[in-house]
Amino acid sequence: MLLETPIFQAYRGEATPRFVNEAELEYAKLLDYYGVPWMYEPHTFVLERDEDGRVTEAFTPDFYLPEQDLYLEVTVMKQSLVTRKNRKLRKLRALYPDVRIKLFYERDFARLAARYGLQQAS
Amino acid sequence: MTGRSGLDERIGDVYLTADELRARVRELGDEIAHDYAGREPLLVGTLKACIPFIADLSMAMPIAHHLDFVALAGYGHAQLGGHEQIRLLKDLDREIAGRDVVLVDEVVDTGLTLHYLTRTFRLRSPGSLVCAALFDRPYRRLVDDLPIRYVGFTVPDEFFAGYGFDVDERWRNLPDLHLVRRF
């Protein structure tokens, strides 16, 4: 599915963001509408390396809000399927305790969609 | 969609009665009046949902204060595509430089609206700037740096009608706060 690429005004990244699902795009539009500076996947956090120092597990949160120093991770997986993501998040918090991150689940997006009239994937 | 009671069928049970709301608002009014004793704060309401709250709050504050209002273009009215940004449909009637400003908001949810207002008003150099929110729904906060000093109730993640909250622009006038059924 090819997602639209609007002209964003509060986007603070360089490369054009390539969203992987409708929910990411809608969160981006919402942040942009309210003028909250945001970046898309600007940082990757290493979670695990093998004996040779090669990265074997990493986590790249979807959004970073530089003024808030806050990461947002958006998932559209059903609640029952988010165990792996939750585990990664716990690991990230343990390894990088100063990093502030919030995870938004599918149910959160559904609520926001109802409140703001966001586009939901069919 | 009207039920036997004459209300919209989506209007559900009472979550907070008018008496419970007014009692809490009176407490907030006392608290704000105490904090701003000897000063004349400016209460700024965000139209339209805040109307019952700011009216009750103002009457509960036994100190001199001023009232003003702003109206914002909500996201629901924006053209999709991210080309638009939030803007004031109605700005303040007076300057706020050096003034003690209390933003009066019915509910803080994602925090995006309050974030915008805070950012906008700080550019005008108020003496101080805080927010009084009747309801806090902190479950999906997208921004954190918000000057929320007074909170009436932390409410569950539900839709409400009455005491300023609407369903399709109706039922803001209901004195109690009702849950809204979603079909």
Which residues of chain B make contact with A35, given a CB cutoff of 8 A?
Answer: 85-86, 116, 119
Closest CA to A40 of A25, A62, A70: A62
Catalytic residue among B109, B166, B168, B176: B109
Q: Is the predicted pLDDT of residue B28 greater than 70, yes or no?
A: yes
- B127: closest CA of chain A, how far (Å): 22
Q: Is the bond leading into B48 cis (omega within 30 degrees of zero)?
A: yes
Is residue B109 flagged as an active site residue? Answer: yes
Q: What is the pLDDT of residues A106-115, one digit of tens each?
A: 888 888 877 7
ipTM: 0.81
Residue type, A57: E
Which residues of chain A make contact with B145, given a CB cutoff of 8 A?
Answer: 67-68
pLDDT for res B183: 64
- A19: closest CA of chain B, how far (Å): 14
Chain A's closest residue to B166, CA to CA, is A115
Segment B33-37 mean pLDDT? 97
Q: What is the pLDDT of residues B80-92, one digit of tens each?
A: 554 578 889 999 9
- The proportion of chain B whose per-residue pLDDT surpasses 70, expressed as a percent, equals 92
- The proportion of chain A whose per-residue pLDDT surpasses 90, expressed as a percent, equals 55
Q: Is B139 helix (H, G, I), strand (E, B) or coil?
A: helix
